[in-house]
Amino acid sequence: MFSGSIPALVTPFDDGGAFVESAYRDLIDWQIAEGSSALVACGTTGEAATLSKEEHFAVVRICVDQAKGRVPVIAGAGSNDTRVAAENLIAAHEAGADAALMVPPYYNRPSQDGIYQHFAALAVDAPLPIVLYNVPGRTVTDIQPATLIRIVQAFPKVFVGVKDASGVLTRVSDHRAALGDDFAQISGNDDLALAFNAVGGTGCISVTANVAPRLCADFQTACAANDFAAARAIHDRLFALHASLFTDASPGPVKYAMTKVRPGFPQGLRLPMTWPGEASRKAIDAGLTAADL
């Protein structure tokens, strides 16, 4: 259902922390014009953790309105409270999203069976497809392959893909052996996307695509055509930038990079996120130069 370069959109804020709708709409148009195949609104990179529920789904609604059906919109909608996650799915559907991106419960650290039961409860009345989002570096909770396979096999029409940020490349093969090629496996790590696609991945939900949407789209097109020589050349060009965007707490670095490639882009972040330090900014500048951006 999903493939290619899918930016995890930043959410523009002014210096006072207010959402800048005009900048967001411009960003969406630029992303689509540059070849992005779908958009993620209000994910981790979109600072969803600092948005109220009303703000969160207002931003999703604006993304859907600006995309105008040109590409699908995936709304971040996860929660560590199953009841709240169910409410978020309804809100994402009402906002017009095409799918929801859902992390397993964080902080309360359920067992593998608890993870399964969480998603099984959501699947019963799910009003739109769900892309699982496994990011144990942030949630601590890790959807093990056997659990993910159990979830998808039980509800194949609901769970259509995974954004895998575990960093464990063998999981692509584990998942594909059990679920086939129709289940979308999407990398959550830009720096691993080349290897991820080589073993069966279908795309990347990308931080770097905020800054370099055309290069990220061309990279994914090359991978889909099995032209891994061309893909590797783009990967090499972007590798320093990929790394630099995580030299300080994300999304501070990518927002700094946005001001370099989109002059006038709002510089605001909401606490506890802060502007990247000097060493990070120098690394980003070098990454942008290496990528000829």
Q: Sheet containing 99-102: give its strands across.
A: 4-7, 203-206, 184-187, 159-164, 130-134, 99-102, 73-76, 39-41
Distance between CA 205 and CA 202 in Å, rounded? 10
Is 67 in contact with 32 (CB distance < 8 Å)?
yes
Residues designated catalytic: 133, 163
Beta-carbon contacts of residue 143 (< 8 Å; ≥ 6 apart): 104, 115, 132, 134, 151, 162
Listed as ranges, residues in the chain with pLDDT below 70 are: none
User: pLDDT per residue over 256-265, tens digit each?
Assistant: 999 999 999 9
- Rounded to 5 degrees, φ, ψ at 239 are -60, -45
User: pLDDT per residue over 84-140, tens digit each?
Assistant: 999 999 999 999 999 999 999 999 999 999 999 999 999 999 999 999 999 999 999
Q: pTM of the predicted model, to two decimals?
A: 0.96
- Domains in the chain: ranges and CATH: 4-225 (3.20.20.70)
